[in-house]
């Protein structure tokens, strides 16, 4: 999955329009985009949407409220009745938080007759200094985990930073560090790293540049806050025909020479890291 689109769960209009965005996944948001006095309404609307949605369309995830709000279990108790594909877990602080959410899901899947382990988890894993340091100490892992994403806005607030950098998409070292730690934690856990949202929705060139930077680093996708951002995200994160052709030829070269550690292709040296990259490119091209 290359893209997720945030959709406020209390907006009937945005919920109705969201499948036409072309996003690989939708995140029905119960957290930051929903006012405090609309939280219960958003829960019920998210459940209704899950029950009525065409499940052959984009994957449907729900961003619940963070553990320190007192709303997490209520969110889950409601939306799990609609059998979401996954849960987006904000303000996740390391392994203990991830394990706790997974335990809640274990119980609620049993209650709803959902196959054990079906509901996946995408964390937003760097929204506080404590979260970044927790990932640095030990990358959070779980069988339910499908990805880690990093968050800049909440981290900025936690740090007391006046901005994430001097310009949109240009990050100070603190935020570069969080972005890098998130990527490495995702890779260490064997899941996809998702780049954070790009808040300037009218700046398409800026979005393309930031997404390009993320893909060059090793990120596998990006989260959007507006439907117009999806096409650019897909453009950047979909392997090109040339990349797929190269990957297939690399794999074929190694398969034809199973006893060799170092080979050549197009006059250039190939070794095992190239084979790993080739397989990863093909996996991304296939879904």
pLDDT the model gives residue 169: 80
pLDDT per position as a tens digit, 75-84: 999 999 999 9
pLDDT the model gives residue 11: 97
Q: What is the 3-state secondary structure (H, E, C) of the chain?
A: CCEEEEEECCCHHHHHHHHHHCCCEEEEECCCCCCHHHHHHHHHHHHHHHHHCCCCCCEEEEECCCHHHCCHHHHHHHHHHHCCCEEEECCCCHHHHHHHHHHHHHHHHHHHCCCCCCCEEEEECCCCHHHHHHHHHCCCCCCCEEEEECCCHHHHHHHCCCCCCCECCECCHHHHHHHHHHHHHHHHHCCEEEECCCCCCCCHHHHHHHHHHHHHHCCCEEEECCHHHHHHHHHHHCCCHHHHHHHHHHHHHHHHCCCCCCEEECCEEECHHHHHHHHHHHHHHCC
User: For the residues 100-124, what does the mean pLDDT come to?
Assistant: 98
Q: Determine the CATH number of domain 3-237.
A: 3.20.20.60
pLDDT the model gives residue 184: 97
pTM over 0.75: yes
pLDDT the model gives residue 30: 98
Average per-residue pLDDT in the chain? 94
pLDDT per position as a tens digit, 246-263: 778 888 888 888 877 788
User: For the residues 133-152, what does the mean pLDDT come to?
Assistant: 96
Is the model's pLDDT at 125 over the cut of 90? Answer: yes
pLDDT band with cut points at 50, 70 and 90 for residue 277? confident
pLDDT band with cut points at 50, 70 and 90 for residue 274? confident
Is the model's pLDDT at 181 over the cut of 90? Answer: yes
User: For the residues 143-159, what does the mean pLDDT come to?
Assistant: 95
More confident residue, 113 or 262: 113
pLDDT the model gives residue 64: 98
pLDDT the model gives residue 163: 93
pLDDT band with cut points at 50, 70 and 90 for residue 287? low
User: For the residues 39-53, what does the mean pLDDT come to?
Assistant: 98
pLDDT the model gives residue 113: 98
Task: CATH 3.20.20.60 in the chain: give the residue spans.
Answer: 3-237
pLDDT per position as a tens digit, 206-231: 999 999 999 999 999 999 999 999 99
User: For the residues 113-127, what does the mean pLDDT come to?
Assistant: 98
């Amino acid at each position: 999955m290359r893209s997720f689109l945030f959709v406020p769960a209390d907006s009937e209009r945005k919920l109705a329009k969201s499948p036409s965005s072309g996003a690989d996944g939708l995140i029905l948001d119960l957290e930051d985009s929903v006012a405090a006095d609309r939280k219960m309404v958003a829960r019920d609307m998210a459940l209704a949407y899950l029950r009525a949605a065409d499940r052959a369309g984009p994957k449907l995830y729900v961003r619940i409220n963070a553990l320190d709000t007192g709303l997490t279990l209520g969110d889950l108790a409601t939306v799990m009745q609609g059998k979401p594909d996954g849960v987006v877990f904000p303000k996740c602080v390391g392994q203990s938080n991830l394990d706790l959410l997974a335990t809640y899901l274990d119980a609620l899947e049993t209650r709803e007759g959902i196959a054990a382990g079906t509901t996946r988890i995408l964390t937003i894993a760097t929204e506080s200094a404590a979260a970044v340091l927790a990932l640095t100490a030990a990358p959070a892992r779980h069988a339910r985990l499908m990805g880690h994403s990093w968050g800049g806005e909440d981290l900025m607030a936690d740090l007391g930073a006046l901005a994430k950098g001097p310009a949109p998409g240009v990050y100070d070292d603190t935020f570069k560090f969080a972005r890098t730690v998130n990527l490495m934690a995702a890779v260490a856990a064997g899941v996809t790293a998702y780049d954070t949202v790009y808040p300037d929705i009218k700046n398409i060139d800026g979005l393309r540049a930031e997404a390009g930077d993320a893909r060059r680093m090793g990120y596998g996708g990006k989260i959007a806050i507006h439907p117009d951002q999806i096409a650019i995200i897909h453009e950047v994160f979909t392997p090109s025909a040339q990349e797929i052709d190269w990957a297939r030829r690399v794999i074929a070269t190694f398969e034809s020479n199973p006893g060799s550690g170092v080979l050549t292709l197009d006059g250039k040296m190939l070794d095992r890291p190239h084979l790993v990259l080739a397989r990863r490119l093909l996996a991304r091209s296939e879904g």
